[in-house]
Structure 1
Amino acid sequence: MTRHALAIGLSRALACALLLPAGGAFAAPDANTAADAAAAVAGDPKDLDAVVVQGEIAYRNRTDDTAPVLSYDLEYFQRFEPNTVGDMVKRLPGAAFVGSDIGEYDGVQLRGLGGGYTQILINGKQVPGAGDDRSFWVDRIPAEMVDRIEILRSNSANRSGDAVAGAINIILRDAYAFDGSYLRVGVNRAFDGEVNPTFGAVTSGEALGGRVLAGINVQDRYRAKIKRSDRFSDPSMDELVSWEDQTEVKDGRDYSGNVSYTVDVGETGRLGVDGFFVKTDRDITEVSFEEEYDDGEVITADVPGRSTVDQKNWGLGVEYRFDMAGGTTELGVDHARFEDDSVESEEAHAYVDGEWDESEAESLAIDAKDAETRFEIAHKRDVGASTEMEFGVDYRRKERDIDHTFYEWAAEAEGDPVVYEIDGTVESVIEETRLDPYLMFSGQAGIVSWEAGLRLETTESEIRYIEDGETEGASTKDYDELLPSLHLKWDLTDADRLSLSLARSVKRPNFNELVPAMLDGEFGDNDYIGNPQLDAENANGLDFGYERRLGRRGVFGVNVFYRDVKDLIELVNTGAPSEEAIAVWEELVEDGDYATIEEAMAAEPAESFVFSSANVGDGQVYGIEFDLSTPLSAFGMEHTGVFMNYAWVDSKVDDFLGERRFNDQARSTFNVGFIQDLPTLESSFGLSYRKQGDAYTRILAEEVKIRYGADLEAFVEKRFGDSVSVRLSASNLLDASKDEFFDKFDTLGDQIDRDYDEYELETEEAGPSYQLVMRWAF
């Protein structure tokens, strides 16, 4: 623990402040925690039947937070019947999904930056996920579990600083905030005619001396798509090298539930317990046919593939808030876990000019566990002069253990059954321990609200790499990050508001960048080895925004942002020859061209190398975001609501080839839509349109441009009294495609000279889908 001496010293100093005299007890809630979400609700709990039968159109909330926060209740999204949080988030300003299959929304990217730059919180807490970049797939959480979603554009001291692009806070329904019960039943129909059911139930009320909420959700998730790939010798597309037709079906079921229990303890205390569980069972079936042309021969292949996915996410948290020492103290403990037990397999049966040539297969079994445990203590108090002080300490322990077992098979004759044999095991273990004290002050002076804070994040990490049961590499790495933040808000009038935020944030290295494992042929002919000594990236950020209230419920906002990223992690050439280069030299010696490997190396320089990751240079990210959410009351159309947001982003970074944008950064995102309510008919209908700009990725030996078509959604709804609603919704009505353009090379020299190994065009489509849902409140 000596390496945490600075953190411990600061935390002890902060704790001494409990003995300071205070002007009075502070009992206002902290909007960044789950308990805050409950405490922020004024008056009686909201009836759940208002969620079922919406008498009014819901708009974006206008929060009182000093830090820049955009807040959207479930009712804002619900009429388009989102199935998952991903279906909700795709409508938010600046939220892009690059790499997701068409019609799916899993890895969200704010400001167009990769998933690891966007922090995902559930009830204000970090949760582990499947991504090597520390990202969490938001399509794992069903929409029916959600109370609201917040976009936290800039850091505050009382939150983890892993949010260069910002954070998305998913607030689950809370026992204190809701009252009542309802059922949700429905069916989904895919474009190929497949029909699948969905079911959900939520109940909340007084029990066990407090309030309890429980919800369950079971939904079949089905997605069929068709894919076509055409591969050419170069971008001129004069020579077709091969092509592939593929159909893919993802057929599975998600089981989920959440519970919340809140009880008042004594005169000032409140105890809260919340938990969630999500289980995904899915079968993925691929059927491909490939045709390749090689020196006058036609090589065809049937390539069936199958994957079984068994993933679990769950979390449990306990918080206790009470008045103490002239202020309010909060204690919290939570544990979250991600588990993955999946199998991927693919066969290939090849024929040359119609005659069987070979059959082979590969399979990969994945056993992954990622667990995080967190303890926190925080105290908030009034220190006079309209100023409040908050300080606290967060302790976090993370362990990520991933075990990959590889299998292979090759046939001796056509028709041989597939019998897999083990081909090796690879395991990586990453352990991180963090102790993060912070201190924050906030207050108000006239029309100006302000918040200033300082957070120290200390990290101890241990990395181990095990191959076939033997430890091949192990390393430790410690680093500290000091993260200041400042937020200012000017309420110029009752309608007009300016905000300015300055904050420092971090992005920790991707897990696969840390593991010291040699990966042969990872980038064309080039190999890759991880670097456990990587430092975290850090960014100084600025957000400046203007927001105006439109009438009673409308809001318009514009925000400009800038991030100056330091210690950027990029690929670097170690200078060591790759396995491919060594094999070439060995073959030259074997053929008698040279007497020794040394002579071959001197005469035939390597064309491919071992690459790694390193902290190199800086990068800049900047853009502008608009959002509008308002009824058209000014035009006499009180029952017509319109929604629009647009984000334009750009960036600069230097890699091994020069300047480019950040990888996978969609140039823009655009959402527009309307809802028309018909009160006399107890009905409503609406349309929503979404378009995401092109994204570009450049890595060693490959460059990719990704383009998504536009998505058009619609719904029509009929309400029956105060307790029943029936809604028909449709998505992907324009039959959008995902188109990818691949420039592929063997070596860095080939990439510089534009000497292509292959140029590929790939497109996939999934067709429209429809959903019929009935809700009944009781």
Structure 2
Amino acid sequence: MKRNALAMSLAKAMFCLTVLPASLVATAQEQSPDGAAAAEPKQLETIVVQGEITYRNRTDDIAPVLAYDLEYFQRFEPNTVGDMLKRVPGVTFVGSDIMEFDGAMMRGMAAGYTQVLINGKKVPGAGDDRSFWVDRIPAEMVDHIEILRSNSANRSGDAIAGTINIVLRDAYVFDGSYLRIGVNRWDDGEINPTFGAVTSGAALGGRFLAGINVQDRYRAKTKRSDRFTDPSMAERVSWEDQEEVKDGRDYSGNVSYTADIGDTSRFSLDAFYVKTDRDVTEVSHEVEYDDEDVIESRVPGLNPIDQKNWGVGAEYRFDMAGGTTELDLDYARFEDDSAESEEKHEYVNGEWDASEAEAQAVRADDAETSFKLAHKRPVGNAELELGVDYRRKKRDIAYTNFVWEAENEGDAVVYELDGTIESLIEETRVDPYVMLSGRGGKFSWEAGLRYEMTQSDIRYGEDGEVDGSESKDYNELLPSVHLKWDVSADTRISLSLAKSIKRPNFNELIPAVLDGEFGDNDYIGNPLLEPETANGIDLGFERRLGKHGVVGVNFFYRDVKNLIELANTGEWSEDAQDTYEEDLEEFLEENPGSTADDFEFNPESWLFTSANVGDGKVYGVEFDLSTPLTSFGLPNTGVFLNYSYLDSKVTDFLGERRFNDQAKNVYNVGFIQDLPSVGASFGATYRKQGDAFSRILGEEVTVKYGDDLEVFVEKRFGTTISLRLTAANLLDASKDEFFNKFDNEADQIDRDFDEYELETEEAGPSYQLVMRWAF
């Protein structure tokens, strides 16, 4: 009961404010219900045929926010939100395959530290780390993208690295219709179509928008792995060549309806749907050298993916009690019905030796229901906002494993069931908040408190039997303060102080033993993990350059507490236990009269878990420039530049290192040259991401990505048609990984290598021709 006391008190206080007598209702002003002046809808034909170069928006938010309209990215014809985000400051992608951008990492921190919202609302995703794969949302659904560098009290605090808010096109903002028809050509000659359509206008007493998008998604890449005894590379023990093809189709759509009710109220309804249907096929040729034997293996693999993301939300805003009350109800769902299989056919010195296979089917259902009640009203020269967010999450997932082993060469693959691991995670959150903000003269400020109360229940089992359940409750008070000083009409300085949170990954909570999850080491989750928290500082400077340009620099620091990392339980793995029992039996047979106490055994594998291991620090600087070169007499030339220096410190069992997978830096530079006299334009963008390093028990990995160059050429026909040719990955960038592998912690400390591996993958350039027609 105590854990809900603050929430109930705040909810009651807000309820009293909203039901004050009608005589307290202020005279309605001629403005939109959200307090902004009414504006005419933007014509969609201006999205299709851009008469001017679009630059980064300069927002009026008190909190540090960067905003980018779709038009900022559109001339390079991005297919997904991931393609868009690779051009904004401080966003890296480590772990993504070459030419793919799925798990966005702000400040270089792992994707789970970045909160991804759609229309300001949380949505479930595929990642066990609670991340949302941004390449699932097509660019054509997007109105603009907001980069929220620090969190405020009226948003969920799951944003240690920051928040990416993907704002979909809204019926109230747009008017008109257009078609997008295109074709992609990949480096191996594959050609795929893409299609999109959007329409918006007055309907049903309000405004309505609908959009659909169908695009074939294709990637073909080659990968080479060479494995050695140690980093000297004096002795190669094996190598592997692999070809992989990802071939599928994404279907997506979104609708939006908005209607004004009376003079001061507005009702909105929006929904989106994304379906990913894809097959990933790969074939590997492996060669291993074992003394005088040469072991060759053919390893085919198949990964059919069937995933769906969808959500629906309703919002009602109305003026009463001298302010504005907001009611939000949202439901979002992620469904996964995918599988993965791999066969291995092994030949020793040219003769068949063995064939085996493994397969896994995944069934996942992740649903979130949320309700928000908030009220804003003036208090003197300030504005008070009171609210409470309720959220219930239910994640039901099952992994079913299958195995097969041949008796003779050429036997058909017939899988046998090898067990099922199931888990059900339910989280209930009640998050009351209060926020006060003020604007006056050159200074604006915002201060708030958010109290997040989480109740987590976990049930897990194997093979249809429930093995156990755990519960964990935790509460966090998250204060935030934002200050903005308008030094002049063109220059501003901002300071933000905020506390944020990262909840444990789902797979870290489930106490089921996974055999060989980390090399030969087993893993078991820890349902009693505490969430990570961080006290953060952002200090920014921004200056307007002429009419359209803007330059900014931002310093950030995060002091992370209760860092969750891999730890050794000190218990042997199941494989080590089996080896011990076999070796002990042999020892006792060879040494009559001996006991188990006389037997010495050094296990080479252990049982790992996740634990709160200590603290860490993340810091860096972000610079961005977006401006026309008007002062140089080149008003039709736009330049774009951003650079982020990223660093961190954490201490593990080997000493000090950076946060795992944090790139050292990332930068992007580009230009657009408009030719108004001929209705054409062209441009290029170049991106480079620094090296990233990760270290866990038993393995250390360095990841390097090559340079990424994109260009476009555009021709406009009147005010309704444009034709764009774009080319991506023109420098044929590679992804290179360097693996240091060890049998156990002791060997890792002593640098006694089990294996050293170099792995590189390439995909080649791609080309896209797109026509847009507004009508």
1:583 aligns with: 578
Offset of residue 3 of structure 1: 3.9
2:78 aligned with 1:82: yes
- Which runs of 5 or more structure 1 residues have no equivalent in the other structure? none
Offset of residue 20 of structure 1: 7.5
- What is the alpha-carbon distance in structure 1 between the residues aligned to residue 195 and residue 593 of structure 2? 70
Partner deviation per Cα, 1:462-493 (whole Å, 9 max, x = no partner): 01111001112310000001000000000010
* 1:131 alignment partner, SS class: coil
* 1:6 alignment partner, SS class: helix
Shift in CA distance, 337/281, structure 1 to aligned 2, threshold 3 Å:
same
Offset of residue 508 of structure 1: 0.2
Offset of residue 608 of structure 1: 3.4
Shift in CA distance, 601/405, structure 1 to aligned 2, threshold 3 Å:
farther
1:267 aligns with: 263
Offset of residue 26 of structure 1: 8.9
- Which 10-residue stretch deviates more, 515-524 or 360-369? 515-524
**Structure 1 residues 187-206: aligned runs within 5 Å:** 187-206=183-202
1:347 to 343, 346, 350: 343
Offset of residue 211 of structure 1: 0.3
1:689 to 674, 686, 705: 686
2:697 aligned with 1:700: yes
2:13 aligns with: 13
1:676 aligns with: 673
Partner deviation per Cα, 1:230-278 (whole Å, 9 max, x = no partner): 0001101011100000000000000000000000112211000000000
2:204 aligns with: 208
2:440 aligned with 1:445: yes
1:625 to 622, 633, 644: 622
1:362 aligns with: 358
Asked if the contact 2:31/2:38 (under 8 Å) is kept, the reply is no
2:646 to 626, 644, 649: 649
> What amino acid sits opposite 2:207 in the alignment?
R
Asked if the contact 1:26/1:381 (under 8 Å) is kept, the reply is no
2:577 aligned with 1:572: no
> What amino acid sits opposite 1:479 in the alignment?
Y
> What amino acid sits opposite 2:233 in the alignment?
M
2:465 aligned with 1:470: yes
- What is the alpha-carbon distance in structure 2 between the residues aligned to residue 423 and residue 611 of structure 1? 22
Asked if the contact 2:26/2:321 (under 8 Å) is kept, the reply is no
- What is the alpha-carbon distance in structure 1 between the residues aligned to residue 256 and residue 635 of structure 2? 37
Asked if the contact 1:27/1:323 (under 8 Å) is kept, the reply is no
Please give the root-mean-square deviation of Cα atoms over the aligned residues, in Å. Answer: 1.8
Identity %: 70
Partner deviation per Cα, 1:558-594 (whole Å, 9 max, x = no partner): 0000000011112222222222332232022210347
- What is the alpha-carbon distance in structure 1 between the residues aligned to residue 331 and residue 612 of structure 2? 32
1:334 to 308, 330, 337: 330
- What is the alpha-carbon distance in structure 2 between the residues aligned to residue 587 and residue 472 of structure 1? 28
Offset of residue 609 of structure 1: 2.6
* 1:540 alignment partner, SS class: strand
Asked if the contact 2:25/2:321 (under 8 Å) is kept, the reply is no
* 1:591 alignment partner, SS class: helix
> What amino acid sits opposite 1:700 in the alignment?
L
Shift in CA distance, 592/582, structure 1 to aligned 2, threshold 3 Å:
same
2:727 aligned with 1:730: yes
2:536 aligned with 1:541: yes
2:499 aligned with 1:498: no
Asked if the contact 1:571/1:655 (under 8 Å) is kept, the reply is no
Offset of residue 601 of structure 1: 8.5
* 1:455 alignment partner, SS class: strand
Offset of residue 655 of structure 1: 1.7
Partner deviation per Cα, 1:104-161 (whole Å, 9 max, x = no partner): 0000000000011000000000000000100000000000000000000000000000
2:217 aligns with: 221
2:554 aligns with: 559
* 1:750 alignment partner, SS class: helix
* 1:592 alignment partner, SS class: helix
Asked if the contact 2:25/2:323 (under 8 Å) is kept, the reply is no
Aligned residues: 771
> What amino acid sits opposite 2:747 in the alignment?
D
1:760 to 748, 757, 761: 757
2:633 aligned with 1:636: yes
- What is the alpha-carbon distance in structure 2 between the residues aligned to residue 10 and residue 659 of structure 1? 44
Offset of residue 445 of structure 1: 3.3
- Which runs of 5 or more structure 2 residues have no equivalent in the other structure? none
**Structure 1 residues 129-140: aligned runs within 5 Å:** 129-140=125-136
TM-score, with structure 2 as normaliser: 0.97
- What is the alpha-carbon distance in structure 1 between the residues aligned to residue 37 and residue 715 of structure 2? 29
Offset of residue 602 of structure 1: 6.6
1:152 aligns with: 148
2:168 aligns with: 172
Offset of residue 610 of structure 1: 2.0
1:771 aligns with: 768
Offset of residue 607 of structure 1: 4.5
- What is the alpha-carbon distance in structure 2 between the residues aligned to residue 90 and residue 250 of structure 1? 21
Partner deviation per Cα, 1:320-344 (whole Å, 9 max, x = no partner): 0001111100001000000000111
* 1:8 alignment partner, SS class: helix
- What is the alpha-carbon distance in structure 1 between the residues aligned to residue 529 and residue 578 of structure 2? 30
2:403 aligned with 1:408: yes
Asked if the contact 2:213/2:252 (under 8 Å) is kept, the reply is yes
- What is the alpha-carbon distance in structure 2 between the residues aligned to residue 597 and residue 282 of structure 1? 60
2:476 aligns with: 481
1:393 to 365, 388, 391: 388
- Which 10-residue stretch deviates more, 527-536 or 503-512? 527-536
Offset of residue 225 of structure 1: 0.3
2:521 aligned with 1:526: yes
- What is the alpha-carbon distance in structure 2 between the residues aligned to residue 238 and residue 29 of structure 1? 74
Offset of residue 658 of structure 1: 1.9
Partner deviation per Cα, 1:10-38 (whole Å, 9 max, x = no partner): 332343344789795798999xxxx96xx
Partner deviation per Cα, 1:370-399 (whole Å, 9 max, x = no partner): 110000100000111x20000101000001
- What is the alpha-carbon distance in structure 2 between the residues aligned to residue 374 and residue 12 of structure 1? 19
- Which 10-residue stretch deviates more, 15-24 or 665-674? 15-24
Partner deviation per Cα, 1:69-90 (whole Å, 9 max, x = no partner): 0000000000000000000001
Offset of residue 598 of structure 1: 7.9
Offset of residue 307 of structure 1: 1.1
* 1:580 alignment partner, SS class: helix
Asked if the contact 1:315/1:335 (under 8 Å) is kept, the reply is yes
> What amino acid sits opposite 1:178 in the alignment?
F
1:431 aligns with: 426
- What is the alpha-carbon distance in structure 2 between the residues aligned to residue 25 and residue 765 of structure 1? 64
- What is the alpha-carbon distance in structure 2 between the residues aligned to residue 29 and residue 131 of structure 1? 41
Asked if the contact 2:31/2:37 (under 8 Å) is kept, the reply is no
> What amino acid sits opposite 1:11 in the alignment?
A
TM-score, with structure 1 as normaliser: 0.97
Asked if the contact 1:213/1:259 (under 8 Å) is kept, the reply is yes
Partner deviation per Cα, 1:525-561 (whole Å, 9 max, x = no partner): 3322111011110000000000000000000000000
> What amino acid sits opposite 2:465 in the alignment?
E
- What is the alpha-carbon distance in structure 2 between the residues aligned to residue 474 and residue 226 of structure 1? 44
Asked if the contact 2:740/2:753 (under 8 Å) is kept, the reply is yes
Partner deviation per Cα, 1:573-631 (whole Å, 9 max, x = no partner): 22222223322320222103478998258733544332211212111000000000000
- What is the alpha-carbon distance in structure 2 between the residues aligned to residue 219 and residue 254 of structure 1? 6
Offset of residue 519 of structure 1: 1.7
**Structure 1 residues 233-272: aligned runs within 5 Å:** 233-272=229-268
* 2:72 alignment partner, SS class: helix
Asked if the contact 2:709/2:730 (under 8 Å) is kept, the reply is yes
> What amino acid sits opposite 1:774 in the alignment?
M
Shift in CA distance, 102/471, structure 1 to aligned 2, threshold 3 Å:
same
- What is the alpha-carbon distance in structure 2 between the residues aligned to residue 673 and residue 604 of structure 1? 60
Shift in CA distance, 657/636, structure 1 to aligned 2, threshold 3 Å:
same
2:382 aligned with 1:379: no
Asked if the contact 1:23/1:382 (under 8 Å) is kept, the reply is no
